[in-house]
Amino acid sequence: MRKAERLNDMMLFLNDKNSFQLSDIMAKYGVSRSTAIRDIQSLEEIGMPIYSERGRNGHYRVLRNRLLSPIVFNIDEVFALYFSMLTLKAYETTPFHLSVEKLKTKFERCLSAEKIEMLRKTEEVFSLGYIKHNNQCEFLDVILQFTMEEKVCQINYDKNGTEKTYIVQFYNISSAYGQWYVTSYNFETKRMQVFRCDKILALKENDTFEAKKMEELKRVADSFNKKADVTTFEVEIASNGVDLFFKENYPSMKLRQQQGKNVIHGFYHKGEEQFIINYLLGYGEKIIAIHPDSLRDMLLNELDTIKKHMQNLSS
């Protein structure tokens, strides 16, 4: 391992340590005592907060602070990080208290003028597609905090224009197509429930129920898909519908391609029928077969409703 690579790896190795011995470095990287000492001196020179404690049981200490020790990236890694950061533009709100533009400016201050020019040119010819929504998620940072701290809370939620109250514990935050969702354990129904974060109107801690450990919530989530009210479905789609699937699909769905067939396998819970119907309508004539028949009948009823609506529109 070259010295530059070794120093970079060493910063990662030491970053979460309070102290270490010289022998730790020698054993980890297979280097001599003198090389290990020179490497530690190099780390100090580039800003890693290390100091030595002499004596019979002498060792090195790493000062704790909120600033990460400097890490060295090659140009490909810099480009990957830069454009990954820009994907945050797809979200009107993030839980990280940051402005993408300010983060972008701070990022560029670490680069030479030549590298910034390369990024500018790349940004002009290379764009990442995303769906932009204007939906503000006022409590996204609190949702993340309560999830990490395993807290029970009361939320006021806008469900189809009606404000409802739920006592929940957040389990998982996810995003899809510019929207934020939080999977939660509903203490009153004793089952998992998914909420759109931008539709949470109010949120506060609640002590009506005892909070569950994350491991227990994971077991509940895993068993959630095996409940009696789960309906499984299979929808065969034409080859020109495969791209549609990869553009939009959800965790409850998988595409299996075998023997020349493209079949979406999935499931939905009671109360989620309209969501699945709206999703499948997007495939239109690309649908070849549907199972069960009840799902096909619901699709036909929805199409009939849409047809009547269009016929009643004023010209």
Q: Looking at residue 179, what is its pLDDT?
A: 83
* Residues 202 and 155: beta-carbon distance below 8 Å: yes
Model confidence band, residue 89 (pLDDT cutoffs 50, 70, 90): confident
Report, as an integer, the average pLDDT of 174-200: 89
pLDDT over threshold 60, residue 106:
yes
How far is it, in rounded angstroms, from Cα 8 to Cα 70? 9
- 193 has which bridge partners? 184
How far is it, in rounded angstroms, from Cα 191 to Cα 57? 55
Quick: pLDDT tens for 33-78. Answer: 999 999 988 888 877 778 787 655 668 888 765 445 556 677 788 8
Q: Looking at residue 51, what is its pLDDT?
A: 78
Q: Looking at residue 45, what is its pLDDT?
A: 80
Report, as an integer, the average pLDDT of 200-216: 94
Quick: pLDDT tens for 283-304. Answer: 999 999 999 999 999 999 999 9
Rounded to two decimals, the pTM is 0.60
Quick: pLDDT tens for 143-174. Answer: 999 999 999 999 999 988 999 999 999 999 98
Structure tokens at 134: 């204007």
How far is it, in rounded angstroms, from Cα 57 to Cα 257? 63
CA distances from 267 to 152, 224, 229, 231 (A): 28, 11, 10, 5
Of 292 and 18, the one with more pLDDT: 292
pLDDT over threshold 80, residue 312:
yes
Task: For residue 139, give the nearest of 185, 166, 173 by alpha carbon.
Answer: 173
* Residues 192 and 184: beta-carbon distance below 8 Å: yes
Scanning 150-248, the segments in alpha helix (DSSP H) are 214-224, 242-247
Average pLDDT score, the chain: 86
Q: Looking at residue 66, what is its pLDDT?
A: 46
* Lateral strand order in the sheet of 179-186: 191-196, 179-186, 162-176, 152-159, 200-205
Residue 128: its H or E element: none
Q: Looking at residue 67, what is its pLDDT?
A: 45
How far is it, in rounded angstroms, from Cα 193 to Cα 55? 59
Quick: pLDDT tens for 258-280. Answer: 899 999 999 988 888 998 999 99
Beta carbons within 8 Å of 207's beta carbon, 6+ residues apart: 152
